[in-house]
Amino acid sequence: MISAQLPALQVVVPLLAAPLCLVLHRPFAAWLLTFVVSGISLLVSIALLGQILEQGVIDYTFGGWAAPFGIAYHIDFANAYVLLIVTAISTVVSIFAKRSVASEIEAHSQGLFYTAWLLCLTGLLGITITGDAFNLFVFLEISSLSSYVLIAMGNDRKALTAAYQYLIMGTIGATFILIGIGLLYMLTGTLNMLDMAQRLVAVADSRTARTGFAFLTVGLGLKIALFPLHLWLPNAYAYAPSAVSAFLAATATKVAVYVLLRFMFSVFGIDFALGAMPLSTMLVVLGSIAVLSASTVAIFQHNLKRMLAYSSIAQIGYLILGVSLATPAGLTATLLHLFNHALMKGALFLALGCIAWRLGSVRLEDLRGLGYRMPWTMGVFVIGGLSLIGLPLTAGFISKWYLVLATVERGWWPVVLVIIAGSLLAVIYVWRVIETAYLGKTQEAVSGTEAPLSMLVPAWLLAIANLYFGIHTELSVGIASQAAMVLFGGQP
Amino acid sequence: MSDSMLFLIVLTPFIGAGLIVVTGNRPNLRETISVATGLLLLAEVASLVPDVLAGETPDLLLAIPVPGVPLALQVEPLGLLFALIASSLWIVTTIYAIGYMRGHHEIHQTRFYAFFAIAIGATMGIALAQNLFTLFLFYELLTISTYPLVTHAGTPEARRGGRVYLGVLMGTSMGFLLLAVIWTWHLTGTTGFKAGGILAGQASPLVIGILYGLFVFGIGKAALMPFHRWLPAAMVAPTPVSALLHAVAVVKAGVFAILKVTVYIFGIDLVGGSTASTALLWMAALTIIGASLVALYQDNLKRRLAYSTISQLSYVVLGAVLANAASISGAAVHIATHAVGKITLFFCAGAILVATHKTRVSELDGLGRQMPLTMGAFLIASLSIAGLPPTGGLWGKWYLALGALDAGYGILVGVLMLSTLLNIAYLLPIPLRAFFGQSPKTTVQFNEAPLPCLVAIGITTAACVTLFFFPGPVYQLAGMLIP
């Protein structure tokens, strides 16, 4: 029965494909394998979601070893949803990657590039699907190490510094997470997250539990790039290859947010995480500062990839604000925005990838008149930008609607103002680009106009998804609210 | 039948925009399509009139993006009135634009006509919105689709104007209006427009007051001070845009939305009794007088007209906030009469620009002998704006004054009188200078604007006068608002 083995396939297929990719080495073969494997992973995650819709949860034990001894995968609405986001983005972006990577990375290292891509995918999927805390750490390291490699492959020499910076920060984060998991293991004697949750109830009121929680939160804060632990992110996104920026921006931080939610709600429980610990206050303050400061900084960026990176930090602020509300509505808003933000940032980074492919630069001043030279590419940017601002009929509006509503329900008016101020700042940094592209003085004619179809089609796929999920929200809102209910129910 | 007609009405301009883009390199065909789309749209809107007069309100559900918050259309008397005004004036403006855009050798004409059509589509969506969410959606679409029209020239000045335009309109709508919409939904669990309002008894007077303030200031298109700066900034646009969009469609969408929110979300009883309404009344009165005073000192003709619009829009806001049967009718009638009056004035300003390349009031001495038709129309339209017979502008003011007396605000009648005097002071000198002023040139010959422009001016001027003798149909629709 293959359907019973789907949880294993989700991780094993990309994991085994990675060394194969290294052996194949030829750029086209490596790309094809990456695309096919991403596609298979997407199908697997859709099938998994279908099973979840039928039966609620899936428990899978690796090799048939029962939970406390073997590694158990536990899949419910929350992680099936994140798996879908990760695999869908990887598939769409891998189509885009072929031409983009060919222009940015030398032929002999493209095989390595795709190997790292597959490993990163493996890591992200593993983190999401596993129900074992140590296994989670292992996958976290797999994804982190491979993403350092991916970033370092950027064609600017500064990519090396950026990757190094991320390596240091990421390692500190991973160490904190490991210490946190270690403390929990010490306290509960188990690494299985289900068991951990049960045993923690009795010993929650101990210094070890609180310390472990603090270590985990700070470590994950680094991986999430939560203000003020975000300093690695702008350079990493700015200097990474275009396809990598799109892939990581849409998935990596999302997965880290998922892990934080998993530990907060499923392992420690909401009463401990947001009640006994002062996390709610901390998150609301840090989230607000992230929204306001990062949006403001984004306005002054000339490198547009950096601008989007700062915008990502601001959007992470929104995610965190939703969590800090500590209500099902707030959590729904966070999970919904997880998905919608992946769509909009994916579309925007792909549009920038097309621009980089054509101009070799993503600096604002080089975009003058580009609206007429690359109308389809700029079309994607405009749609993604409007979604980022949160105009009606775009996915971003749905996110904002739920987030503001959840905040109003809670009566936190200052936070409402922060959210609104954030979207007004987004108007400014998005419109700078649109104004320059359409109203800037056109430079001398450049031969060739649009990016190739293999790059435009995935970009438009994401742009259309932004519009689709702004009108039809049964899927996104439906699953997000189910996932929020699962997390709030305290079930891992 | 009339249900699906609602969807067609919103869709028609968008299809028109698509066809305009496709036929972009054949100007004659392109403009034929523009006019044909306008005629079709007017016919579609007019087909709703019998239903609405019979007291029906056909509606249509399009989609449900958020559970409980549908994307839906519905026609009621006020929306029908607004849709009729906008769609019929669109045809006239297109005819005018053909003369203007060609006569003025404008660039990017296909883009111009296409976004113009989209803007009208958004206006139809606003007119036919069944709930606040749908209204907000098309409201934002209107802002976005008019941005390329405002910045049409592509000059640094146009960019600056565009920034102010977008900044104020989006700032107010996202800052206040969206919040007000979500808050309303939070309080009532619905955003649907309903006769008598949905908010009565749902919140404390303080919350109602704050909410009403958020709505009135959040609908920045109504240009209530201090959020009026976008309108003069938008005057960098080509004149047809200033005429139809920034004297009719966009600004009227603003005051229309305020009226609609007043009547169908709050209900006139709730607004009339609140303390916030008193403050807003004074804000509107201040805008009426203040903007008129500023208009006195504007030498640029289009800017003078823009400040006049700001002042006149607050008449409608005043009518909404007074919230009694007479004032609401007066506000609705004023939407119609000011539309034809102000569009005529802008048409004339554009005609002067095309024929003589003059933009300043001080340059117009003696122009009446060169352009007698244009300046004659300007005179009649000026009377209409001031609200003097024999023009339709009288009626809106008449009912507004009645409404002010009904509400016990005799002093507001004084404000309206003072405003009339100011209107005369800043508008009438223009035709008077043109006809009686000394021209700097010794030989003056007859040199009018292109024929399509004159045709358009003739139609709207005739409408100004017709509305004086036959205000019946407009008043009938306006009177249905408050049973």
For the stretch A299-348, pLDDT in tens is 999 999 999 999 999 999 999 999 888 888 889 999 999 999 999 999 99
Q: With bands split at pLDDT 50, 70 and 90, how would you rate the model's confidence at A492?
A: very low
Q: With bands split at pLDDT 50, 70 and 90, how would you rate the model's confidence at A180?
A: very high
Question: How many CB atoms are closer than 10 A to CB B229?
Answer: 16
> Which residues of chain B have a CB within 8 Å of the CB of A404?
178-179, 182
- B162 touching chain A per CB within 8 A: yes
Cα–Cα distance measured from residue B149 to residue B109, given in angstroms and rounded to the nearest whole number: 10
- B136 touching chain A per CB within 8 A: yes
Complex prediction ipTM:
0.85
Domain ranges of chain B: 2-479
Find, in chain A, the residue whose alpha carbon is nearest to that of B135.
A392
Q: With bands split at pLDDT 50, 70 and 90, how would you rate the model's confidence at A286?
A: very high
Span A89-145, pLDDT tens digits = 999 999 998 888 888 888 888 889 999 999 999 999 999 998 888 989 999 999 999
CB B148 to CB A427 under 8 A?
no
Residue A490 has pLDDT above 70, yes or no: no
> Which residues of chain A have a CB within 8 Å of the CB of B140?
391-392
Closest CA to B41 of B75, B91, B76: B91
The shortest CB-CB distance from B171 to any of A392, A400, A424 is to A424
B420 vs chain A: nearest CA distance in angstroms?
38
Residue B415 has pLDDT above 80, yes or no: yes
> Which residues of chain B have a CB within 8 Å of the CB of A332?
none
> Which residues of chain B have a CB within 8 Å of the CB of A409?
186
Mean pLDDT over A43-67 rounds to 84
Residue A482 has pLDDT above 90, yes or no: no
| CA A479 to each of CA A47, A90, A403, A423, B237: distance values in angstroms, whole numbers, following the listed order | 15, 20, 16, 25, 46
Q: Which of residues 164-183 of B touch A (CB under 8 A)?
A: 166-167, 170-171, 174-175, 178-179, 182-183
B70 vs chain A: nearest CA distance in angstroms?
10
Long-range own/partner contacts, residues B154-163 (CB < 8 A, 24 or more apart): B154/A439, B154/B107, B155/B236, B157/B236, B158/A439, B158/B236, B158/B237, B159/A435, B159/A439, B160/B233, B161/B233, B161/B234, B161/B235, B161/B236, B161/B237, B162/A435, B162/A439, B162/B233, B162/B236, B163/A431, B163/A435
Between B438 and A286, name the one with better pLDDT. A286
Cα–Cα distance measured from residue B448 to residue B61, given in angstroms and rounded to the nearest whole number: 49
Question: How many CB atoms are closer than 10 A to CB B345?
Answer: 29
Cα–Cα distance measured from residue A321 to residue A410, given in angstroms and rounded to the nearest whole number: 12
Q: With bands split at pLDDT 50, 70 and 90, how would you rate the model's confidence at A444?
A: low
Residue B414 has pLDDT above 50, yes or no: yes
> Which residues of chain B have a CB within 8 Å of the CB of A392?
133, 136-137, 140-141
Q: How many residues does chain B have?
A: 483
CB A427 to CB B159 under 8 A?
no
Closest CA to A39 of A90, A82, A115: A90
Span A222-258, pLDDT tens digits = 999 888 888 889 989 999 999 999 999 889 889 999 9
Residue A36 has pLDDT above 90, yes or no: yes
Q: Do B185 and B69 contact (CB within 8 A), yes or no?
A: yes
> According to the model, what pLDDT value does residue A219 have?
93
CB A435 to CB B162 under 8 A?
yes
> According to the model, what pLDDT value does residue A383 have?
93
Average model confidence (pLDDT) across chain A: 88
Long-range own/partner contacts, residues A478-482 (CB < 8 A, 24 or more apart): A479/A49, A479/A77, A479/A80, A479/A81, A480/A81, A480/A332, A480/A335, A480/A336, A480/A338, A480/A339, A481/A328, A481/A332, A481/A335, A482/A77
Find, in chain B, the residue whose alpha carbon is nearest to that of A432.
B163
Q: Do B250 and B90 contact (CB within 8 A), yes or no?
A: no
Q: With bands split at pLDDT 50, 70 and 90, how would you rate the model's confidence at B116?
A: confident
B133 vs chain A: nearest CA distance in angstroms?
9
Which phi and psi (to 5°) does residue B70 adopt?
Answer: -80, 155
> Which residues of chain B have a CB within 8 Å of the CB of A400?
178
Q: With bands split at pLDDT 50, 70 and 90, how would you rate the model's confidence at B1?
A: low
Q: With bands split at pLDDT 50, 70 and 90, how would you rate the model's confidence at B441?
A: low
Q: Which of residues 43-102 of B touch A (CB under 8 A)?
A: 63, 65-67, 69, 71
A-side interface with B, Cβ within 8 Å?
Answer: 386, 389-393, 398, 400-402, 404-405, 408-409, 416, 420, 423-424, 427, 431, 435, 438-439, 470-473, 477
Mean pLDDT over B247-255 rounds to 87
A428 vs chain B: nearest CA distance in angstroms?
8
Residue B446 has pLDDT above 80, yes or no: no
CB B175 to CB A424 under 8 A?
yes
Residue A445 has pLDDT above 80, yes or no: no
Residue B163 has pLDDT above 50, yes or no: yes
Span B85-111, pLDDT tens digits = 888 888 888 888 888 887 777 778 888
CB B151 to CB A439 under 8 A?
yes
- B137 touching chain A per CB within 8 A: yes
Residue labelled with tokens 């790309």: A31
Span B338-349, pLDDT tens digits = 888 888 888 888
CB A416 to CB B179 under 8 A?
yes
